[in-house]
Structure 1
Amino acid sequence: MFNLEFVKSRRNSKQIKLQHMANALGFKNASTYMKYENGEYSFKANHLPVLATELECEISDFFNIKVAKTAIGKDTKSA
């Protein structure tokens, strides 16, 4: 799952303006970028390296990693 809250908080903590992010991603204006950051539009795969560079993070930081718990059960067959 893509973590939009991470993107927004990271941008704010680095004091990067919306227009700067818009320019880096090739958008015309800040409001277009804001629609991506707010989840109205989805970031595309080609946006991720640019986001990571601008936000000084790893691409993997954009994703919530959920690992499914698995149970290894014993064979319960009766002889």
Structure 2
Amino acid sequence: MADKQPIPRQDLLIMANQMIRDHEDYMEGMQADSVEQKNGILIFKGEFFFDIQGLPSPKTMAVFNMFKYLAQTLSGQYQLVD
């Protein structure tokens, strides 16, 4: 989509974290700490809640799905400008 709205990284993170908190699958501690853009796709990163052995915890899939939701929802609308 050629008409993506330019947005500063920090503004996008604020928006994304509000979307996370407002989502029905939100769990305490879910948060996007960074975002980058590769080939037009926004990639959100943050804590994945691995256990002490470094293995996925019950929260891991929920966080992965939330970041995927953000990428699918926001990538078609926004282009990072910084």
Task: Answer whether TM exceeds 0.5 for this pair.
Answer: no
If you compute each CA radius of gyration, which structure gives the higher value, 1 or 2?
A: 1
Higher helix share: 1
Scaled by the length of structure 1, the TM-score of the pair is 0.32
